[in-house]
Each structure stands twice: as structure tokens, then as C-alpha cells.
A and B are shown apart, each in its own frame.
Chain A
């Protein structure tokens, strides 16, 4: 397991940021998905020891975070959410510094620094002071400092925040490339569903510090795949009530269409049967295409989705 959490809790005074969270992140790329303030960043900071844990335990790469903090920090990389820079240093200077802090020799850190700066597309700006970097460049240098020592596990906190569309695409390509290289596991925290869907194999959906759902992207889509878009002619209210009586969830769109979620194990026959029983004409019955966004909206509700 890359990360194991057991009853993991983080409190800021009376505010519970992470609430008795139990989860396992398997090797590969895992997306921590949640609205702003869901507890994603706090969870990562808690794992790294940047904020205190109120209760519970956790291990990273099978090492207890409370006992082997330094050893863990040496084999993980962290790209923070905020603009984090070491003032006064050039791009290459900062990456070399980060490498040396991880235990690389000066020469290795310098050589590897150039490599990762090329990788993140900062080769032209490597001798510029980091304070002069644009937002997109700051995101890239944060990724570079996290990668310099070739960590086994990489924590990325909102990696595309503040980037222009092109930069965002390049960053996602890069993360995808690292993720698919199979050499390192990734935990990506984001509220941008598309980013998580594109780069991660597994998703952990967090809301108000708790895990709502976890699994592979396909599994999550699959578990919510019994959704159909239906259009009828006839007594709409009667049809909806009959469906709900049979255990279906119905979400009318206010016009002619409605989304019908079938109970587990039931097939479309159920809708046909209810239409027959209520005497309505079925004009449309198609599978509703599920994206991670649909799953997410269903889990946390439309009101919270508005925050995203």
C-alpha cells in the first residue's frame, strides 16, 4: 500500500478538517477528489507531519508516519498548493538545494536538477531568480523540486491551480507521463474533476473530512451506471411515484426528461413494466453516460458542486 489511514483525524481548534478517515491508497495514481475545504490538503499535510494529527494513525509506503517521519520524507515528494519558493535562488539553485536537503550529493543534485527542469519545461528559465517566475512557472518549479530526488510516492496538491489552459494541459501531460511510467505512485488532490479523471486510476472522494466513496474510476462509474434518461407521454406524476415505489431514484429535469436510477441488480425491464402498469408511453429510454462528475454530484449533492 502506498498510504494507509486508520481513524485519521485532524482538528483545527473546533473545526474538524479530517474526520476519523480510514482508507487505503494502492500503488499507482490516486486522486483525492473533494470540494474546497473538504480536507484534501489537510490530509496530505497531516501525512507529511506539516500539521498535527489529533487521533488515528497512518503509514506511508509501510512506514509509520509518527515513527519514521524523516525516512518517509526522504522517499516522498510533495508539491504544495501555495506558491512556495526559496527566495534569492535561481531555478536550478532551488532544485539543487531541494535535492541536497533530501540527501543527494551536490553534484548529483545539480545534474538531476537540470534533468527535471528540462522535464517540466523550465530549461530556458533555470538561471532566473525564482521570485521573477510567473504563476505557471512557479507550479512547474514546485513539481521539479518534488521530483528531484526521484521519490517513490508523489503528493500533488492542486497541481494545475493558477495555470493557463496550455500550461494546464502540459502539466496534466507531465503528471500522466510520470503516472504511467509506473516508477512512482501519485496522490493527486484536486477539486477539478477532469484533472483527476484524466490522470488517476483510483479516486477517493472526500467530503467534510470523510471518505464518501473510493475505488477505481471505472468502478465508481460502474457503481452508478444504472442510470437512464427517460421521456414519457402520459401521467408523469403517477409514473414517477410508481418508479419510486419499486425502489428507483427519479430526478425529473422539469421538462420532459428524467433521470432514473435503477436499484442494484435491476434491469431496464423494470422501467418498461412500470410504464405498462401506469399506462404511459415511453418515448425515450437511453443509458445516461456517467462521468466522474456525475458520480461526484450524486455523492455530495448539487449544492456543493456549485463550489467547484
Chain B
């Protein structure tokens, strides 16, 4: 065993010339949140997936026109199915964002950790990008991953390639729509996390910004354009475009786009 003299020792290793600091921030953040019990939320969020997977199994096993399918109220596996699944998962996404995203920058501010990051070779975009990817990772785990798995389940259980030929574009729509939702909601929670006084304030503000405009829209439903103030309605409207569905609201989908870009 070597005997070291006391005192400072030089390190003889080699530093990476261009360290991927955003990745270091992301992986550490993912691990930290995992240790904080994110698994419980992920398990809860997986329940709808299993329910839908069983539905797919029943429908493909017994046929879409069969008795069981009729019992499931003419249950069909089509773009509407994936869209409605994603809309349902948005609830879990909001929970993920509140439980994970709200603290990401707020805690660094609370514990004055920013000088530690920015005295290292970390740029503003490395930091924000790294933090965003943490919520992107968990966000995808509750939205994109189960949606794609459901698609795969449907394809795997299909007797022929008709479904795949007809709806091959659905995975791309799923990815595109989830990216839009994550950019809008993830960007918003990070912004609030950096601006609010603490984690709790950021979470409350985020919840309020999602809930109150939606309530406002429902109260004033006679005026369709009011729906634009609700981020949830804007996202649903844009979602219908991705899945080629009828618009759920009577305002322009392009105005919804503009509203979302405005939020970003």
C-alpha cells in the first residue's frame, strides 16, 4: 500500500477538452429525482397504459366488431385512441413537472448553487438544456414511451399489416406532439422555477397558470376565442392537428399555435 505524504497532491489525469456539461447535469438530476421517489409517480402513471394495453388485446383478439368491442362502446384503435391516451397522460405529466421541474432551478437558487455551476465550464444553455432534459426524460416516460409501446402492442397483436400501413405516421405524431407539450409546459415550469421564490411558489404558479385560464374558458364557453387563453385548450387544439382529428374548439388552430409560441 503506498504511503502518501500529507498535504495537497497534484492530479495527473486529463480533462476532456469540451466537457458535455449538459449531460452531466441531466444524468445527475435524473438520478437525484429517482432517489426522491419518482418511481411511485411513474408506477401510477403506468396504470392507464396497462388498461389501454388490455383494451388493445381484447379488441385485436376478439375483433373490432366483436361483442367485447361492442361492450367497449365500439372501441377502435385509431388516432383518436392515441390522442385521448396522451391527453389523459398530460395529467401525470403535470404532476411530474410540479414534483420534479419546480425544484430544479429553485433549489439551486435557494442553496446558492449557481456560482458552483457557472464557475465551471458550464454555459447558460448547458445549464438550462441539462435541466430541461431532466424533465424531458421523466415527461417522456409518462407520455411518449407508453404511447409508443401501445402502438407497438397494437402492431404486434395485429393479424396483418393493415393497421401499420394505415397508421404508420402515428409514432411521428406522438413524438411531435409530446415534444411540443414538453417544450411549452417544461419551459414554463423551468421559467417559474427560476423566477419564483421557491419550489412551492413555482409549483403553485404553474398549477394556477394551467387551471385558472381553463376554468375561465369553461365559464365563458359561449365565446370560443376565449379558449385561446387556456394553454390546455391550445395544446388539445394543436394535438388534433397532429392526429388529423376534428378540432375540439371553435378557434383557429393557428391562433393556438401562436399562443403557444408566445408562451415559449
Instruction: Chain B residues near A239: list those with CB within 8 A.
Output: none
Is the CB of B112 closer than 8 A to any CB of chain A? yes
In the bound complex, how far is the Cα of B11 from the Cα of A112, in angstroms?
Answer: 8
Is the CB of A7 closer than 8 A to any CB of chain B? no
A84–B8 CB distance below 8 A = no
User: Which positions in B face A, CB cutoff 8 Å?
Assistant: 7-11, 13, 15-19, 21, 24-25, 28, 32, 35-36, 107-108, 110-123
Min Cβ gap B264→A in Å is: 26
Instruction: Chain A residues near B35: list those with CB within 8 A.
Output: 88
Instruction: Chain B residues near A80: list those with CB within 8 A.
Output: 112, 115-116, 119
A183–B112 CB distance below 8 A = no
With A87-B107, A101-B19, A102-B19 as contacts: A50 and B115 at CB distance below 8 Å: yes
Instruction: Chain B residues near A48: list those with CB within 8 A.
Output: 118-119
Q: Which residue of B lies closest to A82 (CB)?
A: B112
Instruction: Chain B residues near A70: list those with CB within 8 A.
Output: 121, 123
Instruction: Chain A residues near B19: list those with CB within 8 A.
Output: 74, 100-103
In the bound complex, how far is the Cα of B220 from the Cα of A188, in angstroms?
Answer: 63
Instruction: Chain A residues near B24: list those with CB within 8 A.
Output: 97, 100-101
Instruction: Chain A residues near B9: list those with CB within 8 A.
Output: 115, 119
Instruction: Chain A residues near B122: list those with CB within 8 A.
Output: 73, 101
Instruction: Chain B residues near A105: list those with CB within 8 A.
Output: 13, 16
Which of B7, B32, B36, B115 sits near A84, CB closer than 8 Å?
B115
Instruction: Chain A residues near B120: list those with CB within 8 A.
Output: 73-74, 98, 101-102
Residues 112-140 of A at the B interface (beta carbon under 8 Å): 112, 115, 119, 131
Instruction: Chain A residues near B18: list those with CB within 8 A.
Output: 103
In the bound complex, how far is the Cα of B121 from the Cα of A108, in angstroms?
Answer: 17
In the bound complex, how far is the Cα of B35 from the Cα of A115, in angstroms?
Answer: 26
A177–B8 CB distance below 8 A = yes
Known: A84-B113, A100-B28, A146-B119. 5 other contacts (CB 8 A): A48-B119, A88-B36, A101-B24, A104-B13, A104-B15
With A97-B28, A177-B8, A178-B8 as contacts: A87 and B113 at CB distance below 8 Å: yes
Q: Which residue of B lies closest to A115 (CB)?
A: B9
In the bound complex, how far is the Cα of B114 from the Cα of A87, in angstroms?
Answer: 12
Instruction: Chain B residues near A149: list those with CB within 8 A.
Output: 11, 15
Instruction: Chain B residues near A181: list those with CB within 8 A.
Output: 7-8
In the bound complex, how far is the Cα of B108 from the Cα of A100, in angstroms?
Answer: 18
Q: Which residue of B lies closest to A177 (CB)?
A: B7
With A101-B19, A119-B8, A149-B11 as contacts: A78 and B115 at CB distance below 8 Å: yes
Top-6 shortest CB links A-B: A103-B19, A78-B119, A150-B11, A103-B15, A103-B16, A101-B120
Q: Mark A170-199, 1 if CB is under 8 A from B, else 0.
A: 000000011001010000000000000000
Residues 59-88 of A at the B interface (beta carbon under 8 Å): 70-71, 73-74, 76-78, 80, 82-88
Instruction: Chain A residues near B32: list those with CB within 8 A.
Output: 88-89
Is the CB of A222 closer than 8 A to any CB of chain B? no
A112–B8 CB distance below 8 A = no
Is the CB of A49 closer than 8 A to any CB of chain B? yes
Instruction: Chain B residues near A145: list those with CB within 8 A.
Output: 116
A183–B10 CB distance below 8 A = yes
In the bound complex, how far is the Cα of B35 from the Cα of A74, in angstroms?
Answer: 30
Instruction: Chain A residues near B36: list those with CB within 8 A.
Output: 88
* 8 cross-chain CB contacts under 8 A: A49-B118, A50-B115, A73-B121, A80-B115, A88-B35, A101-B121, A101-B122, A103-B16
A85–B15 CB distance below 8 A = no
With A115-B9, A183-B8 as contacts: A87 and B118 at CB distance below 8 Å: no
In the bound complex, how far is the Cα of B220 from the Cα of A274, in angstroms?
Answer: 96
Q: Mark A147-160, 1 if CB is under 8 A from B, else 0.
A: 10110000100000
Instruction: Chain B residues near A97: list those with CB within 8 A.
Output: 24, 28
A108–B13 CB distance below 8 A = yes
Q: Which residue of A lies closest to B116 (CB)?
A: A84
In the bound complex, how far is the Cα of B123 from the Cα of A6, in angstroms?
Answer: 25
Instruction: Chain A residues near B10: list those with CB within 8 A.
Output: 150, 183
B116–A50 CB distance below 8 A = no
Residues 23-39 of A at the B interface (beta carbon under 8 Å): none
Interface-central residue, A50, A71, A88, by most chain B CB under 10 Å: A88
Q: Which residue of A lies closest to B32 (CB)?
A: A88
